[in-house]
Amino acid sequence: MSSIGSPPGTAPADDAEHGSSAARGHLFNAATVERYRDVLARGVERIARGVRRADRPFTGVTPAALIPLVDAIDLDRPLGDTDAALDELHDVWLRDAVWFHHPRYLAHLNCPVVIPALLGEAVLSAVNSSLDTWDQSVGATLMERRLIEWTAGRVGLGATADGVFTSGGTQSNLQAMLLAREEAYRRAGGADDRSAALARLRIITSAAGHFSVQKAAKLLGLASDAVLTVPTDAGRRMRTDELARTIDRCRRDGQVVMAVVATAGTTDFGTIDPLPELADICTATGIWMHVDAAYGCGLLVSPTRRHLLDGIERAASVTVDYHKSFFQPVSASALLVRDGRVLRHATWHADYLNPARAAERGIPNQVDKSIQTTRRFDACKVWLTLRIMGPDAIGALFDQVVDLAAQAWRLLDADPRFEVATRSPLSTVVFRHLPPGADPDLIDEANLHARETLAGSGEALVAGTTVDGAHHLKLTLLNPETTVEDIAHVLDLIADHAGRYARDRAAELSCPVG
C-alpha cells in the first residue's frame, strides 16, 4: 500500500496496524501469560547468575567509564529481543551493580532482602494495584490497613492509632511534620495571618538527627531557621536538659515548638534518644513528639531487644522503614500516628477519585490518608514475609547484625591502629585509622583515601561521615551473613591503604611519619 498522501511522520495504515498488533503482544494479559513466564524466567536467571558469580560487592567502576556506554544507547531504536535487551542491561548496570547481599558490603542502610519479599514484589508488580482508592485495590487496601494496625500494635500506640505506607523515611518524616504543623496551627486557633503564624513555628531535633527534618521544614514553608538542633551527650543521644532549655527559650522569644523529633537509630551512630524522658518533656509542654525509627524499627520484632524502644509508645507519630531492618526491597515505609483523626490534614476530596460521599458511605480510600495519590502495594511484600517467615524470624536476623556490630566494636577497640567512636545499640560502628604520628589533616586525608581506594578496588564498601569535624569511616552492618572475619579483612585493607598514604604524603613533605 502506497504511503502517498500520508501526513509527514506517519506510517501507512497496514504498517501501523501491524505495529499495534506487535505492541499488544507485550501487554500482560490472558493471551500472553506464557510469554510473561518466559521473559521473567530469563530475567530471574540473569539475576541468579549475577548473585552466584559476585565475588565482591562492587566492581569499582567510575562514572566516567559508564556515562559513554549509557549515552550511546539510542532509546528510539528498540532491540526487539529480550535476550539482547538483557545483554545491554548487563553492560550498563548489572555487571557493575552494587550487591547488597555480599558480606563485605558494609556501607549504607541497605539490607539484603528475603525471598518472600521478592515474591511479593513480583506479585504486586504484575497485578499493579494502586493503593489510592478502594475501586483500584480492594483487598490490598484492607491488607495495608491490617499491617498498619499490626505495626502500630507493636509500637503500642493504642486503639485510635492509624497510618499509611509511604515511599521511605524522608516522606514519612515529611508527612509527620505536615500533621504536626497543622495541629499546631489548629491549637493556635487558626490565626487570620497564616504566614505570620507559620513563621513562628519551630521543630527541635538533635545534632545527630536525620537531614530529612530540615528538608521537611523547607518543603512545608517554615522559616529558614525553623529547625533547632540540640547537642548530644557522650553517647550521641539528644540531651534532655538542652531540649528543655531550648523549649523555654522558644517560648520566651514568642516562638511555638510544633514538634520534637526524637531518633530511634541515628544514621551515623545507630543511637537511640532517651525516649521516656523526651516523652515526659513533650507531655508536660503539650508538644507533638515524633520518633524517627526508620532504622531502629527492627527492634519491634526483636526477641531480645524490644526494650530499647521503651517510650516510643508515647509518641504522637512514628516513622518505620521496613526496607531497612525488616529485610525488604525498596521501597517499604510507613507513618504511624497515635490519633488517626490527624490524618485528615492530608485529605483532599476530588469528585473523580474520592468524593466526600465515599467517606460518608464508609468506603476505605487510602488516598484520604496519604500525600501520594497513585501508590504501589508495597505492603504486599511485608505481608508475605510475615505470613511465610513470621516476625520472630525477622527479629532474629536483626538481632544477629546487632550482635555482629558489638563484636566489630570490640575488635576495633582492641586494635591500636584505630580509634572507635561511640558504641551503638544497633548495627553501626564509627571509627578511623590513626597513622602513627600523623597530624589531624593528614589523618583525615588518609581515611578519605582509604575509603576511596577500597571502593575503587571493589573488594568492600564502607561509608564515611564526620565526627566533631574529623573524618571517620563507618560500618553499617545489616547482613546476617557477614562474619567477624569479613570485618577483620576489611579493617586490614583500610589500615594498609591509609598507612601507605600517610607514609607517602609524609615523605613528600619531608616529614617522616612513624
Give the tens place of pLDDT for each residue, 75-94. 999 999 999 999 999 999 99
Distance in angstroms (rounded) separating the CA atoms of residues 103 and 417: 23
The C-alpha cell that represents 305 in the structure block: 531487644
Type of residue at 310: D
Query: Is residue 11 predicted with pLDDT exceeding 60?
Result: no
Instruction: Please tell me the predicted confidence (pLDDT) of residue 507.
Output: 81
pLDDT of 6 > 80? The answer is no
Grid coordinates standing for 79? 532491540
Looking at residue 509, what is its pLDDT? 75
What are the CA-CA distances from residue 344 to residues 163, 175, 404 (Å)? 11, 12, 43
DSSP string, 420-474: E-PPPSSSEEEEEE--TT--HHHHHHHHHHHHHHHHHHTS-EEEEEEETTEEEEE
Q: What is the mean pLDDT of residues 375-396?
A: 98
What is the Cα–Cα distance from 387 to 4, expressed in whole angstroms? 62
**Selection from 451, 441, 322, 438 nearest residue 391 by Cα:** 322
Q: Cβ(181)–Cβ(198) under 8 Å?
A: yes
Please tell me which residue, 197 or 171, carries the higher pLDDT value. Answer: 171
Edge-first strand listing for the sheet containing 418-420: 105-106, 461-467, 470-476, 428-433, 418-420
SS3 236: coil
Residue 493 CA to residue 471 CA, distance in Å, equals 18
User: Phi and psi for 336 in degrees, rounded to 5?
Assistant: -115, 145
**What CA–CA distance (Å, rounded) separates 259 from 282?**
9
Task: Decide: helix, strand or coil at residue 254.
Answer: coil
Measured distance CA(315)–CA(446) in Å, rounded: 43
Residue with cell 522569644: 253
CA dist., res. 418 & res. 403, Å (int): 20
**pLDDT value, residue 454:** 97
Stronger pLDDT, 26 or 21, i.e. the higher one: 26
Task: Please give the single-letter amino acid code of residue 485.
Answer: E
At residue 13, the pLDDT reads 59
Distance CA 263, CA 257 (A): 17
Q: Cell numbers of 185, please? A: 496551627
- Phi first, then psi, for residue 372 (nearest 5°) are -95, 160
- Check: CB of residue 289 under 8 Å from CB of residue 300: no
Partners of 228 in the β-ladder? 204
Q: Residues 139-160: what's their mean pLDDT? A: 98
**H/E run at residue 90:** helix 82-92
Instruction: Choose between 1 and 171: higher pLDDT.
Output: 171
Q: Is 80 left (phi over 0), alpha (psi -120 to 50) or beta?
A: left
SS3 483: coil
Q: What is the pLDDT of residues 310-361, one digit of tens each?
A: 999 999 999 999 999 999 999 999 999 999 999 999 999 999 999 999 989 9
238-251: average pLDDT: 97
Alpha-carbon span 172 to 160, nearest angstrom: 19
Maximal C-alpha separation, the chain: 84
Closest CA to 335 of 362, 316, 313, 354: 316
CA distance 192 to 214: 26
Reply yes or no on whether the pLDDT at 12 is more than 90: no
- Per residue in 200-212, pLDDT (tens digit) is 999 999 999 999 9
Please give the grid coordinates belonging to residue 456: 575503587
The pLDDT assigned to 379 comes to 98
Domains and CATH numbers, the chain: 29-97 (no CATH), 129-385 (3.40.640.10), 392-508 (3.90.1150.170)
pLDDT at 16 over 80: no
Of the pLDDT bands very low, low, confident and very high (cuts 50, 70, 90), residue 188 is: confident
User: Mind listing the pLDDT tens digit for each residue in 46-80?
Assistant: 999 999 999 999 999 999 999 999 999 999 999 99
Residue 212, judged by CB atoms within 10 A of its CB (0-12, 13-18, 19+), counts as buried
Helices vs strands, H then E, count in the chain: 18, 12
Calculate the average pLDDT of the chain. Answer: 94
Nearest to 185 by CA among 195, 172, 170, 173: 195
Question: Which residue from 236, 237, 239, 282 is spatially nearest to 258, judged by alpha carbons?
Answer: 282
Instruction: List, for residues 432-477, the tens digit of each pLDDT value.
Output: 999 988 888 899 999 999 999 999 999 999 999 999 999 999 999 9
